[in-house]
Amino acid sequence: MAGASIKEVARHAGVSLGTVSNVLNRPDMVSPTTRQRVLDAIAELGYVRNDSARQLRAGQSRTIAIVVLDVANPFFTDMVRGAEQVVEETGAMLIVCNSGEDSARERRHLELLEEQRVRGVLITPVGDGPQPHLEKLIDRGIPVVLVDRGTGRASRCSVAVDDVQGGRLAMDHLLDQGHRRIAYVGGPLSIAQVAERHAGAAAALEDRDTGAELRVAATTSLTVTAGRRAAEELLALPARQRPTAVFCANDLLALGVLQELTARGVRVPADIAIVGYDDIEFAAAAAVPLSSVRQPREQLGRTAAELLLEEAEHGTAHRHRHVVFQPELVVRRSSDQARRSRR
């Protein structure tokens, strides 16, 4: 008799509804004999307790959501893994929502999460402008923590990496290698991380005053396919305008650039050097091991989850914090050698 109700369990065991409730929630209040009779009825009838309804009545859900830009990106996979470790230690569950870099889809996810009254939301937002849908969650008492994104707001916590510094690290490395025609591959620039990595690269170039040029090869997404298309555009440039180095906004773009260059017979790094960003596992395993700006991916997720759970537990007594990690440049073969004289 699968799907039996609590009333049916009480009737079958010959006890009150309150006794069944005590067996489920406060078993120490019920005598061993009666408790076993109720447990036998539950097993026989196939009763499954409705935890979601119970949690809604208590105003406390055990579900936490994380909304990411691209669930197919290994960077977010690692970030989710870090958050999941912390959440599951508390007996709660982490659900993953994919915005697909689409603000409308992101908003629909958040509206549904609000209806479900989740305990809290971890999110890497699509845009960097006003976020009324996030403020609405906060107004409803649902904690929100931004992940891989800083915030100047006092109403929420954030965990991020200094992406401006990451851009500087990549550009300084390429300039030290003697490059003077450099392309930045990334987009859309409405994504804060993409814009900040570009800003850091541009600032490093300006500070060094080497006469180097930075060309932007804008992409509509942060995928391998977008990287291949960007490489096609760069290779179509006249030889004297073609970059000798490429800095990509993430490793997926860099792997796409590497694939296209290799397919066209362009030598990496002898003809064009490449630096990516994130240092995902595939970066070191690429046909030409990829230099990359490393982010502490799992630590981002763990720290964000810890902040969220702390706020969920302490409510208004919680003090919002903004944690910023420092990136690290990992140099591999895709950019590490003095190659040829620059034209």
Q: How confident is the model at residue 307 (pLDDT cuts 50, 70, 90)?
A: very high
Same domain? 270 vs 171: yes
Residue-wise pLDDT tens digits, 123-172: 999 877 677 888 889 888 899 999 998 766 677 899 999 999 999 999 99
Same domain? 334 vs 227: yes
Same domain? 303 vs 243: no
Structural domain of 24 = 6-49
Same domain? 170 vs 260: yes
pTM across the whole model: 0.79
Total domain count, the chain: 3
In a domain, 108, yes or no: yes
Same domain? 168 vs 246: yes
Which residue pairs from 99-106 have beta carbons closer than 8 angstroms and sit at least 24 positions apart in sequence? 99/67, 99/68, 99/69, 99/126, 100/69, 100/70, 101/69, 101/70, 101/126, 101/188, 101/191, 101/221, 101/222, 102/126, 103/127, 106/67, 106/133
Mean pLDDT of the chain: 90
> What sign does the CA torsion over 152, 157, 66, 56 have?
negative
The answer to whether the CB of 252 falls within 8 A of the CB of 224 is yes
Structure tokens at 4: 């039996």
In a domain, 56, yes or no: no
In a domain, 69, yes or no: yes
Percent of the chain with pLDDT over 70: 92
Same domain? 144 vs 187: no
Same domain? 194 vs 335: yes
What average pLDDT does this structure show over 301-318? 92
Task: Give the CATH number of the domain where residue 227 resides.
Answer: 3.40.50.2300
Same domain? 272 vs 181: yes
In a domain, 55, yes or no: no
In a domain, 319, yes or no: yes
Task: Give the CATH number of the domain where residue 26 resides.
Answer: 1.10.260.40
- What does the pLDDT read at residue 52? 53
Same domain? 291 vs 247: yes
In a domain, 180, yes or no: yes
Same domain? 267 vs 133: no
2 has a pLDDT exceeding 50: no
Residue-wise pLDDT tens digits, 278-301: 999 999 999 999 999 999 999 999
Same domain? 206 vs 335: yes
Residue-wise pLDDT tens digits, 209-222: 889 999 999 999 99
195 has a pLDDT exceeding 90: yes
Same domain? 178 vs 245: yes
Structure tokens at 287: 């046909």
In a domain, 54, yes or no: no
- What does the pLDDT read at residue 115? 84
